[in-house]
Structures are given as C-alpha cells and as structure tokens.
Amino acid sequence: MANKVYQAQETIIDWQASGGTELLTLTSLATLTGRQGAMHDFGATARARRYAWRFFMKFSTAPIVGQSVDIYWKSAIDAAGVSRPDNDDGTGDIAVSAEDKLNNLLWIGAMLVDEAAVAVEMVASGVMDIPHQHGSPVVWNGTVDVFSTTAADMGFILTPIPLEVQ
C-alpha cells in the first residue's frame, strides 16, 4: 500500500507597508513603476520548498479591465541575503530603478484587472518553489492607474506548504 503525501500549511509570511513579517510599501504606486519588498530570510535549516502566494490590492482610480499588475520573485544567497541578488536594486523595501531590472527575476504571475472599480480588492494567487535562502516579491504596475493611498489595501502573502508522507 502506497503512502499518501499530505499538504500541511504552516504560518504565513507576509509583506505589507506595516504590520507584516517584512516591509513592502505599495501605497500610491504609479503607472509603469515597481517596488520590491524587503528580503526575507527563510533560514538555513530544513524548511518548505513549496509556497502558495497571494497578492491583493486596490486602485485609487478606476482601472481598465484587462490590464495587469505583474508579480516577480527576487532571490539572493548567503547569511546576509546580499550575495548575488537577481538584480542590483538592493535588498530592502525600495523602488525598482528601471523596468529592465525585472529581466532576471522570476515572473510568478499577474493580477489582471477584472473590474473597473476603485473600492474593489483585486487578488491573484498561485503556487511557487523557493529554493534560495533569501527572497522578496517585486510588484510592477503595468496599468495606467495608481495604487490606493491606503497602506492596508495592498500586500503579498506566502504560505509554506511542506509535503508530509503519512
């Protein structure tokens, strides 16, 4: 009889402007600009490799249906999280210096605008593998609209999903 492999979710890691595990300040993110969150240290010991991700946000102006907010993953190695990062924009909560800085990041998904409304929370989600010790989400506003001015309206959540054999 074969063993079943169960999915056992663990404590979330979240990036928000305040109150999260790590900082990611997306308030008033302008059109065709990006922002990366602070690098998170996942630790050097055994941990989950698979994660469920969820991005949520609101706009301050009515967006155009079909436009996208792209979500990338930036990683780095070593104990300080500063050796060989995927681009040279630093390791903190900081603006993306140019669209070209997205070229060597891992594209993990997009939040497609599905309603031309300001007050609606829009969400995208998926599953990804994180093999490196340090990483952070990078958000690119590919729409013609500005993100909300309310800090609590935006964030990125990771849920570790270690696989367990029962």
- The pLDDT tens digits for 76-122 are 886 555 677 888 888 899 999 999 999 999 999 999 999 999 989 99
From 63-72, 81-90, 145-154, the region with the lowest mean pLDDT = 81-90
**Share above pLDDT 90 across residues of the chain, in percent, rounded to a whole number:** 73
- Other CB atoms closer than 10 Å to residue 69's CB: what's the count? 26
Is the CATH number 1.10.8 carried by domain 5-161?
A: no
**In a 3-state reduction of DSSP, which class is residue 40?**
strand
User: Judging by DSSP bridges, how do beta strands 22-23 and 155-160 pair with one another?
Assistant: unpaired
**φ/ψ of residue 102, rounded to 5:** -85, -15
Q: Where are the domains of the chain?
A: 5-161
Gap between the Cα atoms of 75 and 133, Å rounded: 8
